[in-house]
Amino acid sequence: MDKIIAKLAQELNIDKKQVAATITLLDEGNTVPFIARYRKEVTGGLSDEQLRTLSERLAYLRNLEDRKAEVIKLLEEMEKLTPEIKKSLDAASTLQEVEDIYRPFRPKRRTRATIAKEQGLEPLAQKILAQEVSIGLEDAAAFVDTEKGVNTPEDALAGALDIIAEIISDDAEIRKVIRDMAYKTGIVQSTGLTEETSTYSMYYDFKEPVSKIVSHRILAINRGEREKFLQVKIQVPTENILAIIKDKYINDSSPTAQLLEQAVDDAYKRLIWPSIEREIRNMLTERAEEQALVTFSKNLKHLLLQPPVKDKVIMGFDPAYRTGCKLAVIDSSGKLLDFAVCYPTPPQNNFEESKKIILSLIEKYNVDVISLGNGTASRESEKFLGEILKEAKRPVSYVVVSEAGASVYSASKLGTQEFPDLDVSYRGAVSIARRLQDPLAELVKIDPKALGVGQYQHDVNQKKLSEKLSGVVEDCVNSVGVDVNTASPSLLSYVSGITPTIANNIVKYREEKGLFKSRQEFLKVPKLGPKTFEQCAGFLRVPESDNILDNTAVHPESYEIAEQVMKLYTLEELKTKNFTENEIREMALSLDIGIPTLKDILTELKKPGRDPREELPPPIFRTDVLEISHLKPGMVLMGTVRNLTDFGAFIDIGVHQDGLCHISELSESFVRSPFDVLSVGDTVKVKVLSVDTERNRISLSMKGV
């Protein structure tokens, strides 16, 4: 364990004591959000991201140590464990290295080499390897055995060389050298298998060093290969590699050099290189997936943490063509007030009747804003709204929102439970309205993979993607906090320590007993015991409680300290007072509490019930619409960041088609990653660089605006 702690401390650049303390907390069953928020003194203030990385690496390193112990035991049972092998296993830092060391001893399926050994050709192979005397057909003739399938001296020599080729292929040192060379000097090459134009055309004659190729290109090439548009290979300096192998296995002036050269060539071409090439491709894919997961995670986090639009009556507008545009009006609490369908788009083009329906709903329910989905028929619907809102009797604006996953929610079990009597086609409009009203509360009802948070999300390991994105949702939910009296089971199930069963029990208790009046009441919920209470209590808010602390992120374990603070200062004083570091240090000492926890308590008491998302800029509310044909180079517009990739940002500037701001146009200074300067949901000022109306492409810049 000491070795694992030292390794994690080095990788994460943190103190060993922090690592050891965090491992103890994780092993005791504490969740990452709980540790990040309420055990800062113990961990030294590690963030939720750092804690998740530590947790993932801890699992890998423990698995590595377990595999080493397993291999050592297997080799001991075979009586093959030597001090050298033991030393190599102890030094191995990856599972791949462990498997390379174990490779020569692993029980094999029947290979050409194992068949040759069964035929009694191992002594001949050893004679060739010894390189003491020359070996010819006359020497091989002694090993002819027709009963065993060795019919000629040539068969005997071929079988012996198969054994030698496998010995060379199983050489862990050689494999490591070749793998390192392939990574440092290899070239990824893709060639088109067709002349037809496709999304992969740029990769029809493509080369890039293995060590430099970026993640999104790896995933694109992999997809092109799967779809039979591309052939992909790794080019390496084969002659240099063969020279290294020959240098190890063939002595100067060896009498069996010619035979050994044949074995080396065969070992490399038939056994070593196909295997190493697969490993390099897998390594590149894993690296690309990890980078993609980071991108998806960041995009999802900013999507979920977009500010809610409170105290507004919202109309959800789910655009469509033939089946009509579905409308759903919700009040400021998210309750469905009314729903309808209209046909302002082709093929019906029933403009006047659609206008009448929408304007009457606006007037009847005092609609403040329309949440327009950005899917099929969105462009025509936006144009329609831009024209008719001028005729509304009250000021109404619209916001274009991503409708990714709305159809998934509509047909889900949860959607059916929430609106059993509402046709599935209208549920999407409700979701579109609610995701503007409170993005976090609504989007947690949908599988994160269905939210369109990045490119190539269907090309990465789906299990890893689910785990990563679920972790992001969990961190977001707990960073914001949840109103226990209004939250859905979906939202509650992401709260630290709460399982889906407990989430349903909370809602059931609420329905049967009425609203919760205090955090202590949580303990009356079936299956919500003391340990779960410890993990979840600080993240659940009870606005109806008589205790103001129940509507803050202050944990019940710290109530006594918080009450002492409130005796020193009134809430009004706390709202305006800015404490110096020295004052905080002295107060922490007098109250016998850690400084990080005290700072968190003071922050919460400044603004009880605060929503951290409210500090972010609101979405752009529009009242009119632009067409792509209206755009001219040099125009400066406000836009919303819809998606981030390794190569730039896609920005909605109100013309239905998102523009691309390439990474080179994000700032006057060098930008290493778009995530360093932007987040999904950001409101930004951009300049139009160029417009390609035929291909619906808009190039944008953030320089000098």
pLDDT at 54 over 90: yes
Average pLDDT, stretch 604-622? 81
Strands 187-192 and 205-209 come out as: antiparallel
- Whether residue 208 contacts residue 221, with contact meaning beta carbons closer than 8 Å, is answered with no
pLDDT at 679: 85
Please check whether the domain covering 171-304 is classified as CATH 1.10.3500.10. Answer: yes
How confident is residue 500, by pLDDT bands cut at 50, 70 and 90? very high
pLDDT at 55: 95
pLDDT at 514 over 80: yes
How confident is residue 239, by pLDDT bands cut at 50, 70 and 90? very high
- Whether residue 117 contacts residue 126, with contact meaning beta carbons closer than 8 Å, is answered with no
pLDDT digits (tens, 9 = 90+) for 622-659: 777 667 888 889 888 888 888 888 889 999 887 878 89
In terms of pTM, does the model score above 0.85?
no
pLDDT at 181 over 80: yes
Q: Which two tokens stand for residue 105?
A: 């001893």
Going by the DSSP 8-state scheme, the letter that residue 150 receives in this structure is B
The residue type at 246: K
* Dist. CA 309–CA 367, nearest whole Å: 13
* Dist. CA 28–CA 534, nearest whole Å: 12
pLDDT at 455 over 80: no
Our measurement of the distance from residue 573's CA atom to the centroid of its chain's CA atoms, rounded to an integer in Å, reads 43
The residue type at 447: D
pLDDT at 617 over 80: no
pLDDT at 453: 75
Q: Tell me the torsion sign for CA atoms 584, 590, 594, 600.
A: negative
Percentage above 70 pLDDT, the chain: 99
pLDDT at 552 over 70: yes
* Higher-confidence position of 327 and 696: 327
How confident is residue 187, by pLDDT bands cut at 50, 70 and 90? very high
The kind and range of the H/E element at 279 are: helix 273-304
Going by the DSSP 8-state scheme, the letter that residue 235 receives in this structure is E
CATH level 3 topology of 628-701 = OB fold (Dihydrolipoamide Acetyltransferase, E2P) (2.40.50)
Q: Which two tokens stand for residue 132?
A: 């003491």
pLDDT at 625: 61
* Ramachandran angles phi, psi of 47, nearest 5°: -80, 170
pLDDT at 460: 85
Strands 187-192 and 230-235 come out as: antiparallel
Q: 2-105: CATH homologous superfamily?
A: RuvA domain 2-like (1.10.10.650)
pLDDT at 459: 82
* Higher-confidence position of 19 and 199: 19
Q: Which two tokens stand for residue 695?
A: 């291909």
Instruction: Provide the 3-class DSSP secondary structure of residue 325.
Output: strand
The residues that bridge with 700 in the sheet, in sequence order, are 661, 688
How confident is residue 562, by pLDDT bands cut at 50, 70 and 90? very high
Q: Which two tokens stand for residue 588?
A: 């922490």
- Domains of the chain by residue range: 2-105, 171-304, 314-453, 628-701
Average pLDDT, stretch 84-102? 92
- Whether residue 564 contacts residue 591, with contact meaning beta carbons closer than 8 Å, is answered with yes
pLDDT at 12 over 80: yes
pLDDT at 16: 94
The residues that bridge with 370 in the sheet, in sequence order, are 315, 398
Residues, the chain, total?
705
* Dist. CA 511–CA 484, nearest whole Å: 12
> What average pLDDT does the structure give for the chain?
92
Average pLDDT, stretch 37-55? 94
Average pLDDT, stretch 258-272? 96
Closest to 544 (Cα-Cα) out of 517, 571, 519 = 517
* Dist. CA 543–CA 551, nearest whole Å: 5
* Ramachandran angles phi, psi of 123, nearest 5°: -60, -40
pLDDT at 165 over 70: yes
Q: Tell me the torsion sign for CA atoms 547, 551, 553, 556.
A: positive
The CATH class for the domain spanning 314-453 reads alpha beta
* Other beta carbons within 10 Å of 61: 18
pLDDT at 262: 96
pLDDT digits (tens, 9 = 90+) for 55-89: 999 999 999 999 999 999 999 999 999 999 999 99
pLDDT at 114 over 90: yes
